[in-house]
Amino acid sequence: MSDQDTILDEHIAGEYKYGFASDIAQETVAAGLSEDTVRFISAKKNEPEWMLEWRLTAYRQWLKMKQPHWQNVHFHDINFQDIIYYAAPKKKPEYKSLDEVDPELLAVYDKLGLPKEEQKILAGVAVDFVMDSESVITTYKATLAEKGIIFCSISEAIREHPALVKQYLGSVVPPRDNYYSALNSAVFSDGSFVYIPKGVRCPMELSTYFRINAQNTGQFERTLIIAEEGSYVSYLEGCTAPMRDENQLHAAVVELVTMDNAEIKYSTVQNWYPGDKEGKGGIYNFVTKRGLCKGVNSKISWTQVETGSAITWKYPSCILKGDNSIGEFYSVAVTNNYQQADTGTKMIHIGKNTRSRIVSKGISGGKSQNSYRGLVQVAGTAENAYNFSQCDSLLLGDKCGAHTFPYLEIKNKSAQVEHEATTSKIGEDLMFYCNQRGLTSEEAVDMIVNGYCKEVFKQLPMEFAVEAQKLLSISLEGSVG
Amino acid sequence: MLHIKNLHARVGDKEILKGLTLDINPGEVHAIMGPNGTGKSTLASIIAGKTDYEVTAGEILFHGKNILEMSADERAREGIFLAFQYPVEIPGVSTTNFMKAALNAKRKHQGLEPITAKDFLKLMNEKRQLVELDKSYLSRSINEGFSGGEKKRNEIFQMAMLEPLFSVMDETDSGLDIDALRIVAEGVNKLRNKDNAFLVITHYQRLLNYIVPDFVHVMYDGRIVKTGDKNLALRMEEKGYDWIKEEVGA
């Protein structure tokens, strides 16, 4: 026991410096995936036996599954034996100073207005920890602890709050749900855990940004958020700055659960490396995100701004089980150059008087392909269910593509389902109008696109929205001829 | 200020302007009248820099610079403004944001710092009153759900904000009731000064009762065929365009 405590202490103490100075877990497992890999990961994380078993079950299920190909994106089959499933953070940062970093990347950081220290972390430059940020994090954690809120890494939660994890992990996205959720369940590296107790309104936006170790949890991230009765939390995921990353495949799983009268607002800004202008390199972002409105009058709201990744493939969804529960999905998906996105949502109405709202804005430029895929399902039990879907596509140029795949499965006659879809181009008249007022074509596109996405942006927390707007401008650079 | 010499332009195979010449000096208001399809709106578009037309001969000098070599946005920043006949809607972009971007684009061109939020609000408040535009319009998406009259007032409001040296008004009076016409015209009159100039394109004399021109030109078949003072507009109103056609031997 005392041994375990020591290890635990080391981990907790080491967590903050994870990846920069710590000597813990410097090893890397050889490429490839087997039961041994799963055991290795679990052991490295000092997981209890039940967690290992859970991972192994998922692994065995994954073995029986096949890579899905129904999505409207194209890529070569991934060789899962080529992937390194456990890589401890690099002992030494790649660069000694910002001077060694790709100037183009730095130019983007400057445009986003990021402080130099932050740029260093993102680009993988050695940093000395700033005392300021450490104290910020401490204050922050104290405030949360006072309210009984748990916000920690999922690894920590497995060790410290096993009962909660055991009860909810995989309860919304079961490992067998799909190929990538099974894979994630077997090998997930880390992620976030949030628990909001009954009646508590989380006093601040929770963001992984404040957790330094989040820099290194990329590849198979696992997030679990539980909002007890009458509670509220707003969670921000991601970062507007393009992060340097060695991993090609990102297969995260996010699970949300709301009890009676609880609300979770989950906002994402995703800007992984999209590959170069010829479409080489870039991240595959295959994510399973799902929320369960378990209690009555509960609400889950997804807002996403997706500008990065070579391939984005995800459908943040809501299962509206509790009567009167509400699901929302607001999305801006931007693709440029050779990027591909197949994204949308699923709204599963089970409870009575459940309501859902979908607002999707797809913007395609360059030679990119952008698909919206959405399912609205109304079960026989869902009396008076209501859905409104609005799917708009904007094309910049004539070499890109926009596609909409709406699926409706309605099994209750009292349901009311509305679907609106538009596809538009930025007309010459509109461009000329803006030009005539002195705006360059690039400034005009910026303004028009930001206006087009306003309905989604206004769902984001203020600061995030401002960053998202800047990000959009940068992503669309060079998209107009 | 603006000198158009022997301008020829076409769209596709169709020649629309056939040797148009026009000189406009600071402080002047010129009106162009003429029947449909004679090239009035084409002239406005070409001055503003719309690329649908091919200029085959002639030149347009603005303060000595050949603007045919400039893009539309460059011309705008140099001080050319077009009040559109059919202003477009820009969903999600408020008039406030649009004007701020436009004004700062121009200021940047002039080597000035972006306007401060305080000065900008003050300026907007002052200018919107010129055309009696309610404050609420400024925060709404530009022209979205505006009536025809409100759109035109918004055009003149933008003109007031940007203080162009040379403004073209392309049938600003079309679709306006008599009250809106008066408001728009009075707004324009307040903007007139010794340094700026206006080109007013219209079908009807009634606008010219309010915005009194120094010169009236009659355009026919891609050319200016007659020039006079404000009385020419009255004669046009009275006699129609047929006598012009006869006079030029069409």
pLDDT averaged over chain B? 91
Distance CA A334, CA A370 (A): 8
Distance CA A214, CA A16 (A): 10
Give the residue on A whose Cα is nearest the Cα of B89. Answer: A430
Q: At CA A410, angle to CA A406 and CA A413, rounded to 5? A: 140
Interface A-B: count of C-beta contacts within 8 A = 72
The domain total for chain B is 1
Q: In B, which residues are within 8 Å of A438 by CB distance?
A: 73, 76-77, 102, 105-106, 109, 162
Location of structure tokens 């880390």: A190
Phi and psi angles of residue B21, each rounded to the nearest 5 degrees, phi first: -130, 135
Distance CA B65, CA A219 (A): 58
Q: How far is CA A106 from CA A125, A194, A276, in A?
A: 12, 33, 16
Q: Is B81–A436 a contact, with Cβ atoms under 8 angstroms apart? A: yes
Each residue of A195-246: pLDDT tens digit?
999 999 998 888 765 433 334 445 788 999 999 999 999 998 876 555 555 5
Q: In the beta sheet, which residues pair with residue A258? A: A227, A293
Q: In A, which residues are within 8 Å of B162 by CB distance?
A: 437-438
Each residue of B181-212: pLDDT tens digit?
999 999 999 999 999 999 999 988 888 989 99
The verdict on residue B22 lying in a domain is no
**Other Cβ atoms closer than 10 A to A168:** 18
Q: How far is CA B56 from CA A111, A377, B14, B15, B24, in A?
A: 42, 61, 12, 9, 22
pLDDT of A289 > 80? The answer is yes
Phi and psi angles of residue B156, each rounded to the nearest 5 degrees, phi first: -70, -35
At A304, which amino acid appears?
Answer: Q
At B96, which amino acid appears?
Answer: T
| Closest CA–CA distance from residue B155 to any residue of chain A (Å) | 11
Q: What is the pLDDT of residue A469?
A: 80
Q: In A, which residues are within 8 Å of B52 by CB distance?
A: 428
Buried b (16+ CB within 10 A) or exposed e, B41-52: bbbbbbbbbbee
> How large is the average pLDDT for residues A274-292?
83
pLDDT of A17 > 80? The answer is no
Q: In B, which residues are within 8 Å of A429 by CB distance?
A: 86, 88
| Closest CA–CA distance from residue A435 to any residue of chain B (Å) | 4
Q: What is the pLDDT of residue A18?
A: 25
Nearest CA to A47 out of A228, A185, A253 is that of A185
Each residue of B78-96: pLDDT tens digit?
999 999 999 999 988 999 9
Q: Is A435–B76 a contact, with Cβ atoms under 8 angstroms apart? A: yes
Give which of B52, B71, B90 to mutate to test A binding, by max A Cβ within 10 Å.
Answer: B90
Q: Is A436–B48 a contact, with Cβ atoms under 8 angstroms apart? A: yes
Q: Are residues A354 and A323 in contact, defined by beta-carbon separation less than 8 angstroms?
A: yes
Does A481 touch chain B if contact means CB atoms closer than 8 Å? no
Distance CA A86, CA A107 (A): 32
Angle of the A441-452 helix axis to the B95-109 helix axis, nearest 10: 160
Q: What is the pLDDT of residue A111?
A: 65
Q: Are residues A336 and A479 in contact, defined by beta-carbon separation less than 8 angstroms?
A: yes
Enter the DSSP assignment of A203.
S
Distance CA B114, CA A18 (A): 43
The verdict on residue B173 lying in a domain is yes
Location of structure tokens 């006659």: A413
Distance CA A182, CA A197 (A): 29
Nearest CA to A106 out of A96, A116, A94 is that of A116
**pLDDT tier at A87 (50, 70, 90 boundaries)?**
low
Chain centroid to CA A271: how far? 10
Q: What is the pLDDT of residue B66?
A: 94
Q: What ipTM was assigned to the predicted interfaces of this complex?
A: 0.95
pLDDT of A121 > 70? The answer is no
Q: Is A438–B97 a contact, with Cβ atoms under 8 angstroms apart? A: no
Contacting A residues, span 421-450, partner chain B, CB-CB under 8 Å: 427-430, 432-441, 443, 447-448, 450
Each residue of B80-137: pLDDT tens digit?
999 999 999 998 899 999 999 999 999 999 999 999 989 999 999 999 998 888 888 8
pLDDT of A358 > 90? The answer is yes
Alpha-helical (H) ranges within A66-225 are 103-112, 116-123, 131-146, 154-160, 162-168, 179-187
Give the residue on B whose Cα is nearest the Cα of A427. Answer: B88
Contacting A residues, span 452-471, partner chain B, CB-CB under 8 Å: 452-455
The verdict on residue B153 lying in a domain is yes
Q: In B, which residues are within 8 Å of A443 by CB distance?
A: 101, 105
The verdict on residue B1 lying in a domain is no
Location of structure tokens 């290194």: A216
Does B234 touch chain A if contact means CB atoms closer than 8 Å? no
Q: Are residues B27 and B13 in contact, defined by beta-carbon separation less than 8 angstroms?
A: no
**pLDDT tier at A109 (50, 70, 90 boundaries)?**
low
Q: How far is CA A260 from CA A226, A323, B106, B202, B227, in A?
A: 12, 9, 55, 65, 79
Q: Is B48–A429 a contact, with Cβ atoms under 8 angstroms apart? A: no
The verdict on residue B191 lying in a domain is yes
Closest in B50, B81, B101 to A439, CB measured: B101
At A272, which amino acid appears?
Answer: W
Contacting B residues, span 155-174, partner chain A, CB-CB under 8 Å: 158, 162
What are the residues whose beta carbons fall under 8 Å from the beta carbon of B233, sequence distance 6 or more? B31, B33, B205, B208, B213, B216
Q: Is A443–B101 a contact, with Cβ atoms under 8 angstroms apart? A: yes
| Closest CA–CA distance from residue B182 to any residue of chain A (Å) | 25
Q: What is the pLDDT of residue A219?
A: 76
Distance CA A464, CA A47 (A): 35
Contacting A residues, span 232-271, partner chain B, CB-CB under 8 Å: none
Q: Are residues A396 and A429 in contact, defined by beta-carbon separation less than 8 angstroms?
A: no
Contacting B residues, span 172-211, partner chain A, CB-CB under 8 Å: none
At B245, which amino acid appears?
Answer: K
pTM of the predicted model as reported, rounded to 2 decimal places = 0.80
Q: In B, which residues are within 8 Å of A436 by CB distance?
A: 48-49, 72-73, 76, 81-82, 84
Q: Are residues A161 and A167 in contact, defined by beta-carbon separation less than 8 angstroms?
A: no
Closest in A427, A437, A451 to B158, CB measured: A437
Distance CA A205, CA A322 (A): 25
| Closest CA–CA distance from residue B204 to any residue of chain A (Å) | 25
The helix (H) or strand (E) run that includes residue B152 is: helix B148-162
Does B141 touch chain A if contact means CB atoms closer than 8 Å? yes
Q: Is A432–B72 a contact, with Cβ atoms under 8 angstroms apart? A: yes
The verdict on residue B207 lying in a domain is yes
Distance CA A150, CA B17 (A): 74
Q: Are residues A471 and A305 in contact, defined by beta-carbon separation less than 8 angstroms?
A: yes
Each residue of A387-427: pLDDT tens digit?
999 999 999 888 888 999 999 999 999 999 999 999 988 88
Q: What is the pLDDT of residue A123?
A: 60
Q: In B, which residues are within 8 Å of A455 by CB distance?
A: 92
Chain centroid to CA B214: how far? 16
The verdict on residue B98 lying in a domain is yes
Give which of A332, A433, A447, A455 to mutate to test B binding, by max B Cβ within 10 Å.
Answer: A433
Distance CA B111, CA B105 (A): 10
3-state secondary structure of A260: coil
Q: What is the pLDDT of residue A204?
A: 83
| Closest CA–CA distance from residue B224 to any residue of chain A (Å) | 25
Q: In A, which residues are within 8 Å of B109 by CB distance?
A: 438
CATH number at residue B122: 3.40.50.300
Enter the DSSP assignment of A192.
E
| Closest CA–CA distance from residue A446 to any residue of chain B (Å) | 11
| Closest CA–CA distance from residue B156 to any residue of chain A (Å) | 12
Q: In A, which residues are within 8 Å of B139 by CB distance?
A: none
Q: Is B73–A440 a contact, with Cβ atoms under 8 angstroms apart? A: yes
Closest in B76, B93, B158 to A447, CB measured: B93
Range of the domain at B92: 28-42+76-248
| Closest CA–CA distance from residue A138 to any residue of chain B (Å) | 37
Q: Is B92–A435 a contact, with Cβ atoms under 8 angstroms apart? A: no
**pLDDT tier at A112 (50, 70, 90 boundaries)?**
low
